[in-house]
């Protein structure tokens, strides 16, 4: 079972200090560690991204889903720098504190950029990895990503972003989901840190998260690439490029699916990832 605090908020789990930050994370299951790295949407937490994935993978693995620096319920510091180097420093320190010398990884969007950078810079820490709608390569800023990173809090802005940019199936976007994600985006400190991460002009942030292609081509880990064909935030073509660069990779494209593969295709996604990690 996931360890939640007494207020019953499922987004709040255990807490450790990593790289000087009190770091919130969810943990469930036992066995080989699998670390889930969330995306960069407004109000995002490990729970919001992975609530359907954690219980499925926890049947076979020790599943750990941290809130990255500047996101969710991980501590925010005045004047904190949000850079790829800083995020990687925080993640590697977190892995040390929770006694995970090596793990499989699943990286969603922004979390995919962190995952590929970890595989490049700290290959000994990474087993197999999954990139889902992943950043980490250079691509032209999409209207969807510009809207996500440029989000200004309101219920209508949240509804528009979720319906027009995240989900292919708009029937998934219920009023209660919009309300809960809006409320998450305006919790104390959330929007302040979020708006400081990716100010306009935003093309530079895509490039700042990118690992050079010549270095990606040297990565030998087994990789599974997953993308929604109809993704409006990170173009499907980025995963095609990853597939060409990563010599030991396979690519699965879901039709009628946007940027929310782990939600829109949750059962198929969970089975795909589980079988990939279980296969010798």
Which residues are part of the catalytic machinery? 109, 231, 259
**What distance in Å separates the CA atoms of residue 130 and residue 277, rounded to the nearest whole number?**
9
The closest of 177, 189, 145 to 41, measured between CA atoms, is: 145
What is the phi/psi pair of residue 248, to 5°? -110, 50
Sheet arrangement for strand 14-18:
14-18, 21-28, 62-66, 33-37, 103-108, 126-132, 223-228, 249-254
**Are 90 and 18 within 8 A, CB to CB?**
yes
Please give the distance of CA 185 from its chain centroid, rounded to a whole number.
16
> What are the CA-CA distances from residue 198 to residues 68, 82, 211, 230 (Å)?
15, 9, 18, 24
Structure tokens at 266: 């949750």
Burial profile 161-197: b = 16 or more Cβ within 10 angstroms, e = fewer = bbbebbbbeeeebeeeebeebbebbeeeebbebbeeb
Structure tokens at 39: 């995306």
């Amino acid at each position: 079972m996931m360890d939640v605090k007494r207020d019953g908020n499922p987004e709040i789990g255990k807490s450790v200090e990593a790289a000087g930050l009190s770091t919130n994370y969810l943990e469930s299951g036992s066995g080989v560690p699998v670390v889930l790295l969330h995306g960069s949407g407004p109000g995002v937490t490990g729970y919001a991204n992975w609530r359907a994935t954690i219980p499925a993978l926890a049947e076979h693995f020790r599943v750990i889903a941290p809130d990255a620096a500047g996101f969710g319920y991980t501590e925010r510091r005045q004047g904190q720098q949000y850079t790829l180097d800083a995020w990687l420093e925080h993640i590697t320190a977190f892995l040390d504190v929770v006694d995970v010398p090596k793990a499989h990884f699943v990286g969603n969007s922004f979390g995919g950029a962190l995952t590929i950078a970890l595989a490049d810079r700290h290959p000994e820490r990474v087993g197999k990895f999954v990139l889902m709608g992943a950043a980490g390569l250079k691509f032209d800023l999409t209207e969807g990503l510009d809207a996500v990173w440029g989000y200004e809090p309101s219920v209508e802005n949240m509804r528009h972003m979720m319906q027009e940019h995240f989900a292919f199936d708009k029937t998934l976007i219920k009023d209660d989901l919009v309300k809960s994600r809006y409320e998450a985006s305006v919790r104390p400190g959330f929007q302040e840190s979020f708006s400081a991460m990716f100010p306009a002009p935003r093309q530079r942030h895509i490039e700042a998260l990118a690992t050079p292609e010549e270095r990606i081509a040297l990565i030998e880990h087994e990789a599974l690439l997953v993308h929604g064909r109809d993704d409006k935030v990170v173009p499907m073509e980025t995963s095609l490029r990853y597939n060409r660069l990563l010599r030991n990779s396979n690519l699965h494209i879901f039709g009628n699916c946007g940027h929310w593969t782990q939600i829109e295709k949750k059962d198929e996604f969970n089975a795909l990832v589980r079988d990939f990690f279980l296969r010798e």
